[in-house]
Amino acid sequence: FRHYIFSSKEERDEIVEEIFKTGFNAATLLLPQEFEVIKENARGRKQERILKLTCDSLIMVTPSKNIRHEMSFSGIESVSIDAQNSELIWLKYKTEGRRRKIYSKNSKILLQSILEAMEKHLDEDALSLELSNQFLDSFGSNNFSFE
C-alpha cells in the first residue's frame, strides 16, 4: 500500500483526477510515455533524466525520481530532431529564448510520442471549450452575476 498526505481536500481531488486522466489517456496512446534521455543544460553539462509524458505536460525526472522540470504541452513552441545528429532532439518552450538539447537513442519514437500526446491534449482542450460554450449557450446569455 502507498499512503499519500495532502494539504487539503482540494489538493487530494486534483491529484486523484490527474491520476485518473493519466491512466485513462495512457490506454488510448499507442506509443511509449517514458524515455531515458540525456539533457544538456545551458552550460553544456549532460544530465541523465527520465522524460515522462502526462495527459497535459512533459516532465523531466532524475533517476532518483525527483521532478526537476514540468512544462505544459501548450507551452511548447517546437520540437524537432537535429539534421546532423539523429539522437539529438531540440525542444523550444514559448517562455524561453533558447532551445533545449535532449539526447535519446529512441529520438524518432520520442518525437512521435511527444507529438501524439500534444495532439491528444489539444483535442481534449478543444472538446472542453466546445462543451463550455454549449453550457453557456444553453443559458441564452453570457451575462452572469455571482454573489
Q: HSE, CB side, 13 Å, CA atoms: give it for residue 111.
A: 20
Distance CA 65, CA 62 (A): 5
Task: Map residue 7 onto helix, strand or coil.
Answer: coil
Question: Is 60 exceeded by the pLDDT of residue 53?
Answer: yes
Portion of the chain with pLDDT greater than 90, in percent: 38
| Bridge partner list, 100 | 91
Alpha helices per DSSP H over the chain: 9-28, 107-137
Q: CA 112, CA 89: separation in Å to the nearest integer?
A: 11
Give yes or no for residue 143 having a pLDDT over 50. no
C-alpha cell at 110: 520520442
Pick the more confident residue, 3 or 32. Answer: 32
Given a cut of 80, whether residue 65 has pLDDT beyond it is yes
The verdict on pTM exceeding 0.85 is: no
